[in-house]
Structures are given as structure tokens and as C-alpha cells.
Structure 1
Amino acid sequence: AALAAFAAAGLAARLAVSAELYATVVVGTKR
């Protein structure tokens, strides 16, 4: 259970980072 929670936290962190990168690219493209 702890391992699953740790994996879920890592996945969420990765998703947040990729979303932030995507937003940065979109903003840079609009400019």
C-alpha cells in the first residue's frame, strides 16, 4: 500500500511537471 501511494505521488509530480512545461511552451508559442 505504501509503495502504491509512493508511485502515485511520483506519477502526480511527473504529471504536474509535464503540464507546467506544456503551458510554458503554449505561452511561448502564443507570444
Structure 2
Amino acid sequence: ALKDEFEEHAEKAKTLPENTSNENKLILYG
């Protein structure tokens, strides 16, 4: 289940602006 959830978040992360830092992604999806 965790893998599926991670992949779903990864797909969403691709739609974020390129200038969104990995740190911000961790806050959003961590």
C-alpha cells in the first residue's frame, strides 16, 4: 500500500512547478 501511495504522490509531484524544491515536496507529501 505504501508503494502505491508513494507512486501516486510521485505522479502529483510531477505536476508541481519545476521550482518546487525537494524539501517542499517532502513537506507536501512526506
So what's the TM-score if we normalise by structure 1? 0.47
When Rg is computed on C-alpha atoms for both structures, the one with the higher figure is: 1
Structure with greater proportional helix content: 1
Higher relative contact order structure (alpha carbons within 8 Å, sequence separation ≥ 6): 2
